[in-house]
Amino acid sequence: MSAYLEYFRTLERVRSVEPRVVATTVGRHRAEFVRRGWVAEDGYLTRVMVPFHDSEEEVEADIDEGAGVFRYRSPQQRSRIVARPLSEIVLYALRIDTWLNDLCKLISIEPRHLSQQRTRVPDHLWHLGDARIAGTHDFAPVFVGRSWERAPDSEVTSVLCDPAWPRGGVLLRHQPIRDDLPRDHVMRGLNDFVRVEDGQDVFDASAFDRVLRGFVTVSGEPELPQFLQGTRVKLPHFEKSRLVSDTRASILKVMWGEADKTPPAMKWTEVKSKVDCGYRSFDEAFGDKATREEYLILIKAGGHYQVRRQ
């Protein structure tokens, strides 16, 4: 497995990325992480748990860096001094910024489009920068999310709803969960795009671009005023098309109806049964108020979509 994915897994295991962690938390890949600068030795434990009869007891560790060992007095035989390798009690600092820098290079985010404000929700959400959609002058934001289940909802929502984002982007996680994000951002697993070939980390730019684009015109051609293609949607009052989640795309398709026909009038229970989603209402499915109102404009007006074909 790619070192990038192993490191992401390590980040998911820790309560916070700020405190130092023990070697067992870093795991069996720590030598590679140290080589890449993603972790760094940062002191030693001063007290350790050691065997004592059928359990353990905490003892003080006497550090001897010159000899590369630590020593402690055996709690079972007080006259006995035990020496153990110093590597067993090394503490490591997680250098997440270095990993994020390398990830930006792997994704090939252009230097002038790298984020100037990377940390958006401390410990949980980072903005890498804006990735170019191939063949266009359009860019979409790329985020990294960690420990999403414990992230503060209000702070995450505030960041993702920021009108500064030109269009919906991609939030990368170690393991994606089924979640509809604000502003039509989509969540994907980093392992969808990163793999190892001939011993080298490789990023699948084509697969990533397909997620970013959905359907985007090339060569400067203008987009249709209104269309739904896969999970990319354009409404007349949108400046540009946007990515939406699979669930939202299905809801819009059901509620818009078809061209040259009276739009369907249906209750949410009907929509829910056709889409087979767990949302209790349209409002719940589309999240924040601004996003709901943007889509309701078209639905209430009885609009329809046009499918663009490649």
pLDDT tens-digit map of 56-98: 877 888 888 888 888 888 887 778 888 888 888 889 999 999 9
What residue type is assigned to position 116 of the chain? Q
Looking at the structure, do residues 301 and 244 belong to the same domain, yes or no?
Answer: yes
Residues 209, 261: one domain? no
Residues 306 and 202 in one domain: no
Q: Is-above-0.75 flag for pTM?
A: no
176-204: average pLDDT: 85
Number of domains in the chain: 3
Query: What does the alpha-carbon distance between residue 182 and residue 180 come to, in Å, rounded to a whole number?
Result: 7
Average pLDDT over residues 113-124: 95
Q: What is the pLDDT of residue 300?
A: 52
User: What percentage of the chain has pLDDT greater than the value 70?
Assistant: 87
Average confidence (pLDDT) over 290-309: 55
Rg (CA), the chain: 25
Q: Are residues 101 and 208 in the same domain?
A: yes
**Together in a domain, 101 and 197:** yes
Contacts of 228 (CB under 8 A, 6+ apart): 234, 249, 252, 253, 256, 305, 306, 307
Residues 242 and 278 in one domain: yes
* Shared-domain flag, residues 233 and 139: no
Q: What is the mean pLDDT of residues 131-146?
A: 88
pLDDT, tens digit (0-9, with 9 covering 90-100), for 158-172: 999 888 887 788 999
Both 140 and 117 in a single domain?
yes
Domain boundary residue, one of 94, 114, 137: 94
pLDDT at site 145: 95
What range defines the domain where residue 254 resides? 222-310
- 86 and 113 together in one domain: no
43 and 9 inside one domain: yes
Q: Is 205 exposed, middle or buried (0-12, 13-18, 19+ CB in 10 A)?
A: middle
